[in-house]
Amino acid sequence: MFKILAVVVASISIGASAVPALSQGNDPYIFDLNSPQLDVRASLGDNTDNEFLKYGYPGPVSDFLLRSRYATSFNRALRNPNWVAEHLTLANLNGTADRSNADFKEDKDIPVMFRAHLKDYYRSGFDRGHMCPAADAKKDDQAMKETFLLTNMTPQVGVGFNRNYWAYLEAFVRDLTKSFDDVYCISGPLYLPVQEDGKWYVKYQVIGNPPNVAVPTHFFKVVLVKQGSDFSLGAFALPNKAIDNSTPLTDFDVPVETVEKAAGLVFFDKLERTSVTPLCSKTKCSFK
């Protein structure tokens, strides 16, 4: 029976960072990929016909937003996307839209009290980091402008990360379209624990005045590629800090299950995971 160790929080060194590691622990931390899984998309709907929810369902609400070049789920409590999903091909990456014609904007599809605001980032020391890159949305001006909505942004360290290593990873994903028919990429933030005094804590900065937008400790990209009827899957988890350009991308290559456990998400669940090959076995996971 094919089994994969699920993630338990343990700090190990992976390149320049520490990310959750696969546990070598006991059976409670093991799950079987061949066993039936719950429908992760099941929801309460409008089922308030009970005494507890007689006057309404409090949430949480994850706003689902569908744009020209991406879809996203927005977290109202953290004022960050939960994830941003893209589908890339050689054809849909073509276009002439210029990012210089786009401005960062608050997303009016989110209620004011739950939005990330432009003023939250002002003098925060963090970049407004794209989850769907502007370079992936050259289709037209509207598609480009949608990538500058704050629901597609999250606070990122600028020099050494957003403007460098993270940008190189974005380019790596785009370049996969030269070798594969379809590239599906899901990106998002992580809030991972650190160990202090023998105890584990989740600590992250919050920017804005008053404090409004959470600063992720890490970011992930989960990448699925398709060539004919063959699929390959990979995941990368990077710390939200400056990363030396010489650091191999493979240092941040982690099992998809690691990201799923840390983020509380399930990726590409319509595919039989056991029939999908590792991405880095099909292509060289490195920057040119």
Any idea which residues carry the catalytic annotation? 130
Residue 100 structure tokens = 């210089």
Name the DSSP letter for residue 6.
Answer: P
Residue 273 structure tokens = 């995971």
Measured distance CA(86)–CA(136) in Å, rounded: 9
Q: Which residues contact 145 (CB under 8 A, 6 or more apart)?
A: 101, 102, 103, 105
Residue 225 structure tokens = 């590629």
**What pairing do the DSSP bridges indicate for beta strands 62-66 and 71-75?**
antiparallel
